[in-house]
Amino acid sequence: MHAAPGNNPMHKIVFSGDAAWSTNTVYTGAVGNVRATYFYPFPQGLGGKPLLGSAGFGLFFASDHFNQRYFGIEGPDLALYPELGGVPFRPDGGLASIRIPVSLTSQIDPHWSLTVAGRYERLLNDAADSPIVRTRGNENQRTLGAAINYYF
C-alpha cells in the first residue's frame, strides 16, 4: 500500500543555496546557487520498485573574475575574435544563468539505486553575451547523465 503524497516525507519542496570560493589560482571570488527543488515519489513506482522524481529551478551567480576567466577574451586570445577589433571583452559578475534540473531515481534493492538526470541551463547577461558563446558555443546548455548508487 502506498502512502498518499501528502503523507510521504519524500513528497516535498526543498529550498537551498550554496556558495563556493576557488581554492586554486584559476579564478578568484565566489560562485553561488539558489534553488528550489520539487520531489515527487511516484505511487506506482517502476517495476514494483520505488521511483522518485525531481524537478527544480535555480539561479547561478558568479564573481567578476570567474566570468572573466570563463567568458572573457583578452591578450593573445583577441586574435581569435577579430570582430572585437582588438578590444578585450571583460564580463562583469552577477547572475550568470538559470538552471532547470530533473532526475528520476529508482531503488533497485536496499543497497542499490539508479539515477538518470539532466539539466537545462540558459546563460544570461555577460556570460551569454560573450563572443565565445555567440560565435563558438550556445547560450542554451544541456547536460545528461546516469549514476549507479550504493548505500552503506
> Which set of grid coordinates corresponds to residue 132?
565565445
pLDDT in tens, 16-44: 999 999 888 888 889 999 999 999 999 88
Please give the distance of CA 143 from its chain centroid, rounded to a whole number. Answer: 8
CA distance 56 to 64: 26
**What pLDDT shows up at residue 10?**
85
pLDDT in tens, 101-118: 999 999 988 899 999 999
DSSP per residue over the chain, as a string? Answer: -PPPGGG-TTSEEEEEEEEEE-SSSS--SEEEEEEEEEEEEEEEEETTEEEEEEEEEEEEEE-HHHHHHHH-B-GGGGGG-GGGTT--B----EEEEEEEEEEEEEE-SSSEEEEEEEEEEEE-HHHHH-HHHHHHS-SEEEEEEEEEEE--
**What pLDDT shows up at residue 6?**
58
For the segment 126-134, the average pLDDT, to the nearest whole number, is 96
pLDDT in tens, 51-99: 999 999 999 999 999 999 999 999 999 999 999 999 999 999 999 999 9
CA distance 28 to 64: 9
Q: Domain extents for the chain?
A: 5-150
**What pLDDT shows up at residue 3?**
46
**What pLDDT shows up at residue 25?**
80
pTM score, whole prediction: 0.85
